[in-house]
Each structure stands twice: as C-alpha cells, then as structure tokens.
C-alpha cells in the first residue's frame, strides 16, 4: 500500500469514527486531508469503496496490535488480555457511538464483514490465550475453551453493536474495563487470581 493511500485511510477512518459514516462526504475527506478529489479517486472508486477499505484497514490494525502483544514473550496470559483491552479502550475513546449506527444502517456489507472477521479473530485469539494461561497454571484447568472464547467474543460485540448500545446509560470505555475484569476473574486459578488483583491495581480505568 502506498504511503498516500495509507494516510488517506487513517485520516478517513478518524473522520468516520468521529462524525459518522453517513455525514462525511468525499468532498469532506479531500478537504480535511488537503488533497484533491482527483487524488482521492485514484485510490477509491466512490464512498462505498472508501468505507469498505477503511473497515479492512481497521481490522488489519486491530489484528496487528493484538498479534504484537500476544507474540511478546515477556507478557503472561493475563498481561496480554489487559494490554489488548487497554489498546482497544484507547481506540474507543476516539469513537463516536453513532458511527456504528451509521455503518450498520447505511453500509451493511461493510458492517457484516467487520462483525464476521472480528468474531473469528477474537475467538481464535482468546483460545490461544486460554491455552497459554492453562498451561502456565494461571487459568483454571476445567475451562471449556471453545465456549469461553465464544462468550468473550459476544461480550466484545455487545460493546459496539448499536442494537444493544444505549448512549444514555452506558459508556463504551467503562463497559470494556468491566468486561475484561469480569472475564479474567471468572477464568483465573487461585494463583492467577492473586496475580490478576496485583495487575488490576495498575490497570488504568
């Protein structure tokens, strides 16, 4: 991917997340990025194409963040889950909840792709994390890895799915913090639970 295209995707994603997918036009993108529409249309056929590629870019970015954390041998299984949650929390801080309503309502194919790939990646990542934690003795040995990974994927989906999200009652960032604490406390062994409580003290809320 060229540097110009990558920059457009990063900046366009920021605009969509901040102001919504419906309201931002191709004119807005070219103006905000300081590029001509001709340059913009060299890389994207239309707004639908731009939105689809922004979703692809977003998924790639999330997977790269998670893979980097999970491949760091200095992190134990609990560290991995906390660091991933903390990274996602920073991303959600920049997100206007209404953007998810827009994406699902007006760009359904892109939303469906986001949901499908997100669920699959989260389930696989959590399975790997559970296997590691059980092996190291910090997660319980009696866990059903497949069931737990599906439950966690559902909980994360709950955060961003506009069918469930009530902006008047919930804060996405606080909700995610509680979900990760809920998840880890339910799967830790006695040894892992002691370790977790020490780590939570330094976990930024």
Interval 12-69: pLDDT, tens: 999 999 999 999 999 999 999 999 999 999 999 999 999 999 999 999 998 999 999 9
Instruction: Report whether 104 contacts 51 (CB < 8 A).
Output: no
Q: How far, in Å, CA of 26 to CA of 159, rounded?
A: 28
Tell me which CATH code domain 3-200 carries: 1.10.357.10
How many Å apart are CA 80 and CA 59, to the nearest integer? 18
The token pair that represents 105 in the structure block: 């309502």
Write the DSSP symbol of residue 203: S
Tell me how far apart the alpha carbons of residues 130 and 146 are, in angstroms, rounded to a whole number. Answer: 10
pLDDT, tens digit only, all 205 positions of the chain: 588 999 999 999 999 999 999 999 999 999 999 999 999 999 999 999 999 999 999 999 989 999 999 999 899 999 999 998 888 877 777 777 788 889 999 999 999 999 999 999 999 999 999 999 999 999 999 999 999 999 999 988 887 777 765 544 556 667 788 899 999 999 999 999 999 988 877 655 4
- 22 contacts 102 by C-beta, under 8 angstroms: yes
Cβ pair 34, 78 in contact under 8 A = no
Total-model pTM: 0.86
Determine the number of helices (DSSP H) and then strands (DSSP E) in the chain: 10, 0
Find where tokens 């949650």 sit. 85
Asked if 58 and 114 touch (Cβ cutoff 8 Å), the reply is yes
Residues whose CB falls within 8 Å of the CB of residue 62, separated by 6 or more in sequence, listed in order: 88, 91, 118, 121
Which tokens hold the place of 93?
């801080």
Longest dimension (CA), the chain: 61
Domain boundaries, the chain: 3-200
Q: How many residues does the chain have?
A: 205
């Amino acid at each position: 991917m060229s540097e110009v295209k990558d920059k457009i995707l990063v900046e366009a994603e920021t605009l969509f997340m901040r102001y919504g997918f419906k309201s931002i036009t191709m004119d807005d993108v070219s103006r905000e990025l300081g590029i001509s529409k001709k340059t913009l249309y060299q890389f994207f056929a239309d707004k639908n194409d731009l939105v689809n590629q922004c979703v692809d870019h977003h998924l790639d970015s999330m997977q790269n963040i998670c893979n980097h954390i999970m491949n760091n041998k200095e992190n134990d299984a609990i560290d991995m889950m906390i660091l991933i949650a903390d990274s996602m929390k920073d991303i959600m801080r920049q997100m206007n909840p209404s953007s998810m309503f827009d994406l699902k309502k007006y760009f359904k194919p892109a939303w469906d792709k986001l949901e499908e790939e997100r669920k699959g990646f989260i389930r696989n990542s959590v399975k790997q994390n559970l296997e590691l934690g059980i092996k190291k003795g910090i997660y319980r040995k009696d866990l059903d890895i497949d069931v737990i990974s599906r439950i966690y994927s559902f909980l994360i989906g709950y955060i961003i799915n506009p069918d469930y999200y009530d902006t008047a009652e919930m804060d996405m960032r606080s909700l995610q913090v509680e979900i990760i604490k809920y998840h880890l406390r339910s799967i830790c062994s006695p040894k892992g639970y002691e370790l977790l409580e020490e780590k939570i003290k330094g976990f930024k809320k």
